[in-house]
Amino acid sequence: MLESMTGRTHDTAAITFLAIALIFYPVDKGITLATALVAILANQIGGLAPDIDQPTAPFWRNLPIFRIFGRFGAKLLGGHRFLTHSLLGAALVGYAAHWLLKFLQPIMPTVDAYLVWWAFMIGIISHLIMDTFTKEGVPWFLPLPFKLGIPPLRSLRLTTGKWVENLVVFPLLIVLLFLIVGAYYNEIVSFIHTEVKR
């Protein structure tokens, strides 16, 4: 069985990592509501993007026209937990996303593509970090042929969909997200409202 965190855990981790990034690296200028919404969407896509190397991934299941590509694409990418689960893969996907956003910029004039790109990349990195805690680990340094896992002892790592992920990891991510949003709620709201009023 392929070991990967469940989709909802990756979704929650991606938005939580984005919130943490905003605390430590706040945007020095206001953003439009359009930028905020597109950035959140990009973050969620990024949180699932590394699993495009798995034909049964939610990304392929939810887009029927891409199901065929999902089957062949997984083989081209080296199978699950290979290229897209590495820093090299993250860089390649990030490069492609950069050019896609550049291409789309004329139809999204009020969206800051740079911030959207960073939100997408934070989603990807959150995915790799979370999968590092699973039994299989992650080949962070491809083409070097080894996978890193935390903790180093494989038997102590998480198994997908089991009680530790469902009753500990997932709820902890939700609590952390609510704590962050609660602690910084006024700053977040005033930041977006200030920009919208301009």
Give SS3 for 195: helix
Q: What band does 83 get if pLDDT is binned at 50, 70 and 90?
A: confident
φ, ψ dihedrals at 148, nearest 5°: -95, 140
Mean pLDDT, rounded, for 158-176: 89
pTM: 0.84
Least confident of 7-16, 74-83, 168-177: 74-83
Look at 35 and 5; give whichever has higher pLDDT. 35
Per-residue pLDDT, 62: 61
Q: Are residues 6 and 173 in contact, defined by beta-carbon separation less than 8 angstroms?
A: no
How far lies 103's CA from each of 31, 55, 97, 107, 108, in Å? 20, 27, 10, 9, 10
Least confident of 62-66, 98-102, 171-175: 62-66
Residue 78, pLDDT above cutoff 60 = no
Q: Which residues, in sequence order, are bridge partners of residue 134?
A: 158
Residue ranges of the domains in the chain? 7-197
